Amino acid sequence: MFRKWGQKETAAAKTPGASATAGASKPVTTPPAPANTAGHVPAAPHAALAASQLRRTVDPASLGFVTTAELDGIDGLIGQERALRAIEFGADMATHDHNIFVLGPPASGKTTAVKSYLARKALEPSPVHDWIYVNNFETPNRPRAMRLPCGRARALSKAMIAAIDELRQTVPQMFESDEYQARRRTIDEGFRSGQEAAFEALSRKAETQNIAILRTPNGIAMAPMHEAKVVKPEVFNALPEEIRKGVQQKIDVLQRELETILEAVPKSDKERRGRLAELNEEMARLVVTDALDELKAAVADLADVAAHIDAVHTDMVRNIALFLASSEDGEAEAIVKQPVDVSRDPRFRRYQINVMVAHEDPASCTAPIVEELNPTYGNLIGRIEHVAQMGALLTDFLLMKPGALHRANGGYLLVDARKLLLSPFAWEALKRALKAREIRIEQPVEQMGFASTQTLDPEPIPLAVKCVLFGDRELYYLLAAHDPDFARLFKVQADFDDTIARTPESLMSYARLVASIVRQHALKPLDAGAVARIIEEGARLADDREKLSIEVGRIADIVREADYWAGRAGRAVIAADDIVRAVDEHVQRSDRLRDRAQEVIGREIVMIDTTGAKVGQINGLSVLQLGDFAFGKPSRITARVALGQGRVTDIEREVALGGPLHSKGVMILWGFLAGRFGAEVPLAMAASLVFEQSYGGVDGDSASSAELYALLSALAEVPIRQGLAVTGSVNQWGEVQAIGGVNEKIEGFFDVCNAKGLDGSQGVLIPHANAQHLMLREDVVAAVAAGRFAVHAVATIDDGIEILTGVAAGVQQADGPFPDGTVNRRVADRLLRFAERARLFARPARDGSADGEGVS
């Protein structure tokens, strides 16, 4: 398992001596030195921290209320003035590039705070419009975008459908009316009578010449007559040739006249059709004008829309036959005697209106606040859908669907930055829209140059939106460093803090925040004792007794779970015990691996000593973070020293299990040793440091002080008390520095010692700067108060080595050695012996080079 030494190491060194309000306890002093340190100078007693310094409690009576039912909820967040001012500034800046990036820890209430402020901001006057797409009758693949006053798009769309539906009824009636039929018959009969008169005149002329004009299945034929009867062919052929020629000449003349008459028929028919088309157009214009007059009057103030209605009028008149064509829907209508859904009839799609953005009522005509939870490319920019017909994918302007940018236009768009970046093409599309200040619906395949289906090129819609991204700090700084467009588009940084200072005012604000949570989730009220425990848990979540966590999500979870346990207990008010139960149950659901880690230590599978004393061996403390649960785990650290060439070998680093921070800590140890003991004597030693039974990675420098203690013990040959564990980093001057996760580390070692049996000799050494961060569990505080466990705060390595060994560290005398019998003197003497032996064993250097020194 990967161990992170120094996880949460964000605590800054502060003035020692944190205040406490818990009850006082008798101070614990350093136990006597181990038996095998006889002859050494004993260390002066070091007082351990009192139980009152291990947990800062809250007196319920000091809160000034009985239950949260007496409190007013708090509007917004507490202690986030910097972030809220940034949000206010970004929302007020009416520029396209002052978008906002809200950064901070998860569950800190960022989204709720932004929505709360923007809800008030949205009530201010804002240019909000409806947007529609309509068919472009001249270029159908380039639909036209039109802006409408707020609240009018839906009514316009319904009015257009109503007009189409009316035409479906009135057009057939108009063309079936007696007036239309009479006028059409007049036109038809006028042309038909002219043709018949010409044919009758030719027939009479032929009759006077004894020629008959006959209508046969094969067309019109002419034949000679005698005594009003057609002469049979065999009789005609028997006549003299001169008579036959005379008759044939008459027939030829009549045929030419007949051809002239027949050639005039198509021209006459074309003229007839023209006259009918004029009639149809006249009648169509009347009925279409009557259907669209009301609609056109409603949009008289909108020049673009009125022009489109004129174009619709012209196209309807030109294609009036669409309203006469029968369809399956029409047949169904005739059967059930009910109107069909005109909006679904493919014949009339060209006239319909695609409503992209619509506000239903005037009350909704405020700046919209749109949170896109799934910011894919299509959900963000919009998309063009296709339908399959005859093996091809087809589309039209009605298949264009709006995205979040359309809905948020004129207002605010809220997006989770991590989800946005994980969605292909979405981040680039958002930046492109913000820079161009327009929404252009394009398919990703079109942008890449691939388009294998029928597609559209709709007009872009102007964009005026304030985009708010939410993300963690790491993501913000990565974008700022690697995306040049990011800094130009998101110029407002709203940084939410993790904690607030613990003051009387903030305690009351915290109580009001709890009251707000109770009201929001309809929970039972909390009594003052429960609120006090919530405040203490807030300090523990903050890893600082002087701070309170404002991780609103986690606080709300505790309150809701406590409400459940109060209900199980039959209480109408949530008590402190319910808060404790909620916290304990949450830990119990998450601590399986912690139990397994403590089990293998208890069964001595992993070797951790909690009694006795050993040279070069010490218990270090690490923190393991598993999801939202962290726990401390002790590890044995050992050091071995021998004569060498001045090298400290970090075994973890040699086998690639040590991270860079851990390697840095080991290198600092060499700096400390060289500065204190190697000013005049070469460090002719070889040392090795290792985490025993460590099978995962090790990183962080919070074990560097423990490693230095083990190294000093090995050099001085002074045993270290195994009942003590150590955490803290060290610098080259031997000062112990603050680390993170101090509460979990202390509790982790306490649990191991408690399982093996507390005898009063066990405890933990922590940096003095971390004393102000202590918010330990109550069972640990109780054990300290009873003298069964101890927590020591040390400022220097000398303080720590005295507590661990019971031997005085020793202060170097002016221009002289360390005092006899001290740890530092024994280390100096050991290193001097190494140097002398190295000189005795050394041979003359053939190349004149000196021994190397350093860390590997």
* Catalytically active residues, by annotation: 702, 745
Give the Cβ contact number of residue 385 at 10 Å: 12
Q: In sequence order, what are the residues at sequence separation of 6 or more whose Cβ sits closer than 8 angstroms to the Cβ of residue 87? A: 100, 102, 113, 114, 117, 118, 468, 492, 494
Nearest Cα residue to 803 out of 716, 726, 690: 726
- On the 0-12 / 13-18 / 19+ scale of CB atoms within 10 A, 813 is exposed
Give the Cβ contact number of residue 855 at 10 Å: 18
In single-letter form, the type of residue at position 707 comes to E
388 φ/ψ angles, rounded to the nearest 5 degrees:
-90, 125
Q: Are strands 438-439 and 392-394 parallel, antiparallel or unpaired?
A: unpaired
Record the tokens describing residue 88, joined without a space. Answer: 């206010």
Nearest Cα residue to 9 out of 501, 623, 771: 623
Cα–Cα separations (whole angstroms), residue 223 to 209, 219, 373, 396, 814: 11, 13, 91, 63, 155
Record the tokens describing residue 185, joined without a space. Answer: 């018959």
Alpha helices in 453-551, H assignment, sequence order: 473-482, 484-489, 504-520, 528-541
- On the 0-12 / 13-18 / 19+ scale of CB atoms within 10 A, 358 is buried
CA-only gyration radius of the chain, Å = 48
796 φ/ψ angles, rounded to the nearest 5 degrees:
-135, 165
Record the tokens describing residue 82, joined without a space. Answer: 């910097």
3-state secondary structure of 737: strand
Cα–Cα separations (whole angstroms), residue 577 to 124, 127, 197, 591, 644: 47, 54, 114, 21, 60
Between vectors from CA 25 to CA 789 and to CA 634, what angle results, nearest 5°?
20
691 φ/ψ angles, rounded to the nearest 5 degrees:
-90, 115
CA dist., res. 716 & res. 713, Å (int): 5
- Torsion from C-alpha of 322, 328, 332, 335, nearest 10 degrees: 90
CA dist., res. 341 & res. 168, Å (int): 11
3-state secondary structure of 631: strand
Strand partners, 626: 629
Per DSSP, the residues of 204-264 read HHHHHTTEEEEEETTEEEEEEEETTEEPPHHHHHTS-HHHHHHHHHHHHHHHHHHHHHHHH
